Amino acid sequence: MSEAENQQKPVLAGIAAGTTVFVVACLTTWLLYTLNANLQLQLLRGELANIARIAALEVDVEDHKKLTRAEDTNNSHYRKIIEPLVEIHNAVPDILYIYTMREIDGRIYYILDTVNDDGLLRNNRSEVTSVMEEYEFNPHDELFINWLPTLHAGEIDVDEEFYLDDGDYIIGASVPIFDSDGSFFGILGVDFNVNLLEENLQFFLKVAFAVVLLSFILALIIGLRVYLISANLKKTHAKLYRQAHTDFLTGAYNRRHFLAHVASETTRSKRHKHPLSLLLIDIDHFKKVNDTYGHLTGDEVLAFLVSTVKETMRGNDMIARFGGEEFIILLPDTTKEGAIRFSDRLQNRLSLLEMKSVGGERFFFTISIGISEYKAEVDINDWINQADSALYNAKQSGRNKSVCYQNNKPVSIRLV
């Protein structure tokens, strides 16, 4: 072997080692990129489905049926029913569109359509669709072949991958909307702009093959960016969830959330034979409070009552606003005797707390309470009606008292 060949060996070995390290680093980076991109896509798909579910709660089928012509886009009814979707759109800036569609004789028509910026309040006519504008698509196209069948089956359809539309990378979710008779009515759709995410990933890929170290740094930056996007989406989802499930004035849960929760609690009560009680509360002479001290003070009374109840409750108890000045409290693992003791504590606590009106006047307020313990043979509506019957008896017999429904009739158990 010649001297020249001996000198070349370390060079070749160094090149081979360097090449091996570079190739391994590039392949590792590519693998991490692919896994990262798939993970980001799955996170986006999950969060987008959640946003679409929440937006669908704002859709009223009967209101949609009143929009039947293109010129309906300009009327006040259209603006009224699109405003909740506009609020959701504004809460998540990367949403491109939130829209609703209606199916008639196998054809799909737009009804509502929110877009970015000036188009949000339907001022920019050139950027938005009109009521009953047909959505033309090929049902045999790969993008749409399972779209309507999935929705007809009552399932949410979320795009498996990004797709390109007028220069934007988009991922979309569709939620089925059903009429009151259970028939398929239409679709709520949300399209999400993922251009920034896609650009970051492409930039990361190019730089990664050029400089392995810089690729690693950029991977951390992109990972942080994805984390921030995911965190922002989760924060937005939590905010939307709170808006959909709580009363904004008092912080109590709303009626819809309570009815969903009470169903699971009654099932648990029957399965484990645990007691379960509820209290229906009404503020005495609340109209007089509003008339005397003003509605702002009335709002403060509602919020004050809820905060006082929360201070009296245990961690697994629940309060919800049931309507107007009526609130309902669910007490798991509590007999009617325990519920009576709870009502005593609450009324005693309120009797000692003085309110101050917006104008500076000081006053007290009282509440009437109807109590009922759950029985397995009684359905939820009848159980709530029992508490309502007891509450009615409390108000009719002088107010500022608790009445318990027992032995198939309301029985007064406390008079303050």
Say how many CA atoms lie within 13 Å of 120 toward its Cβ: 16
d(CA 251, CA 266): 24
Rounded CA separation 415/388 (Å): 18
d(CA 148, CA 159): 13
Give the CATH number for residue 158.
Answer: 3.30.450.20
For residue 21, being part of any structural domain is answered with no
> Is the residue at 74 inside a domain?
yes
pLDDT for 227: 56
Identity of the amino acid at 279? L
Residue 27 lies in a domain: no
Phi, psi of 354 (to 5 degrees): -95, 135
How far apart are the C-alpha atoms of 61 and 324, rounded to whole Å?
25
Question: Looking at residue 312, which CATH number applies to its domain?
Answer: 3.30.70.270
Contact assessment for residue 82 and residue 122, using Cβ atoms and an 8 Å cutoff: yes
Does 265 share its domain with 404?
yes
**CA-to-CA distance for 318 and 144, rounded, in angstroms?**
44
Statement to judge: residues 234 and 281 lie in one domain? no
Q: State the pLDDT at residue 281.
A: 95
Residue after which a domain boundary falls, among 212, 245, 278: 245
Whole-number pLDDT of residue 167? 62
Give the pLDDT of residue 158.
Answer: 87
Task: Indicate yes or no: pTM above 0.75.
Answer: no
Cα 152 from Cα 388, distance rounded (Å): 39
Please check whether residue 10 lies inside any domain of the structure.
no
Closest by CA to 131, choosing from 67, 185, 60, 174, is 67
State the pLDDT at residue 80.
85
pLDDT at 3: 47
**Distance from C-alpha of 20 to C-alpha of 185, rounded to nearest angstrom:** 59
Do residues 345 and 367 both lie within one domain? yes
User: Do residues 78 and 89 touch, judged by C-beta distance below 8 A?
Assistant: no
Mean pLDDT by 10 residues, the chain (416 residues): 47 48 65 73 82 88 85 80 85 82 87 60 49 80 81 88 66 90 91 69 64 53 56 72 81 90 91 94 93 93 94 92 92 94 93 89 94 92 93 92 87 58
The answer to whether residue 208 sits within a structural domain is: no
Residue 132 pLDDT: 83
Hey, what long-range contacts does 381-384 have (CB within 8 A, 24 or more apart)?
383/266, 383/278, 384/278, 384/280, 384/328
**Domain enclosing residue 91, as ranges:** 35-197+228-245
| Same domain, residue pair 174 and 43 | yes
Is 77 a member of any domain? yes
Task: Report helix, strand or coil for 92.
Answer: coil
Domain shared by 58 and 139, yes or no: yes
Q: Which two tokens stand for residue 50?
A: 């959640």
Residue 20 lies in a domain: no
Give yes or no for a contact between 269 and 275, defined as CB atoms under 8 angstroms apart.
yes
Q: Residue 42: what pLDDT?
A: 80
The gap from C-alpha 69 to its chain's centroid, in whole angstroms, comes to 31
Residues 260 and 236 in one domain: no
240 and 375 together in one domain: no
pLDDT tens digits for range 227-248: 556 667 667 777 777 777 888 8
Same domain, 239 and 265: no
β-pair type (157-158, 409-415): unpaired
Question: 355 and 407 in one domain?
Answer: yes
| Structural domain includes residue 2 | no
E strands in 115-156: none
> Does one domain contain both 306 and 282?
yes
| Same domain for 389 and 282 | yes
The residues near 49 (Cβ < 8 Å, ≥ 6 apart) are 156, 158, 173
193 vs 96: CA distance, rounded Å: 6
pLDDT of amino acid 221:
58
DSSP conformational letter for 323: E
| pLDDT at residue 274 in the model | 93
Same domain as 153, residue 77: yes
**Rounded Cα distance, 37 and 253, in Å:** 38
Q: How many domains does the chain have?
A: 2
- CA 193/CA 172 separation, integer angstroms: 9
